[in-house]
Amino acid sequence: MVDVHETIKDIKSKFRLFMNGVISQSMREKGLEYKLNFGIEFPRIKEIAAAYEPNHEVAQALWKENIRECKILAGLLQPVDSFCPEIADIWIEDMHYPELAEYTVMNLFQRLPYASEVVFRWMADDREYFQLCGFLLMARLLMKGQKLNERAEAEFLDQAFTALEGDIVSVQKAAALALCKFALQSKDNARKMSKPLQALLKSEKENVRLLAGEIRLEIEYL
């Protein structure tokens, strides 16, 4: 039986050993306002995680801490079989920074057995971090070779191009990333994006034109 309290205490003592005040201060200046931020880089957090067995109670306790490194580590130590969609939603509701969304999608969400089901619900959600996690997750699933059927493909393209024209920069970038991964799967996929991409290249919004241009550069030689 794992003593959750002692494990969390042990983890925090390791965080203190590797604290980087310069990085922590830099993150604060960029708006990352955690109660505590040790400024530890991800490879080191991954090393710390390797010393512990995945454990649901420990991961849930870590996530509840308003500490950057605890939340990142939670995604590394959470077993997928005890992480239901309702808990995933609660975690997303508690996200406030794109960095945490990226790490949680990479370390946990892409491994969930129901990832290909929740991804569409998240992309269609009105809330910023649900959309962000949705597009980041879709990019990961496409990178792993997941193929979309006709209906799923139409829904994804509609959601992604709509997000590109929105006003939330992190969501726009995540949608652009997912579109690039979709196009890289096949020349046929790239062709399907040609017409809506041309329309965005004429957008009145400069950042939309720039993103569309970046996508075109990424896929034009396929």
Single-letter code of the amino acid located at 123: M
How far apart CA 193 and CA 65 sit, in angstroms, is 42
Q: Tens of pLDDT along 82-100?
A: 999 999 999 999 999 999 9
- 131 with 222, same domain? yes
- The verdict on 131 and 29 lying in the same domain is no
| The two three-digit tokens of residue 43, written as one number | 């490879």
Q: What is the mean pLDDT of residues 212-219?
A: 90
- Would 106 be classed as within a structural domain? no
pLDDT score at 42: 96
Residues 12 and 65 in one domain: yes
pLDDT digits (tens, 9 = 90+) for 119-153: 999 999 999 999 999 999 999 999 999 999 999 99
Domain count, the chain: 2
Q: Residues 117, 60: one domain?
A: no
Q: Does any domain span residue 95?
A: no
Same domain? For 117 and 13 the reply is no
Which structural domain range is residue 206 located in? Answer: 113-222
CA–chain centroid gap for 49, Å, is 19
Q: Is the pLDDT of residue 222 over 70?
A: no
Report H helices in 94-205: 98-107, 115-124, 128-143, 150-164, 169-185, 187-200
Is 87 part of a structural domain of the chain? no
Residue 100 resides in a domain: no
Q: Domain containing 185 — which CATH number?
A: 1.25.10.10
Q: How far apart are CA 75 and CA 107, in angstroms?
A: 6
Same structural domain, 73 and 129? no
pLDDT at res. 13: 96
Provide, rounded to the nearest whole percent, the portion of the chain with pLDDT above 90.
87
The model's pTM: 0.94
Residue 32 in this model has a pLDDT that exceeds 90: no
Does residue 97 lie within any of the structural domains?
A: no
Residue 53's identity, in one-letter code, is: E
If you search the block for the tokens 């996508």, which residue do you land on? 215
pLDDT tens, residue by residue, 10-27: 999 999 999 888 888 888
| β-strand partners of 36 | 67
In a domain, 88, yes or no: no
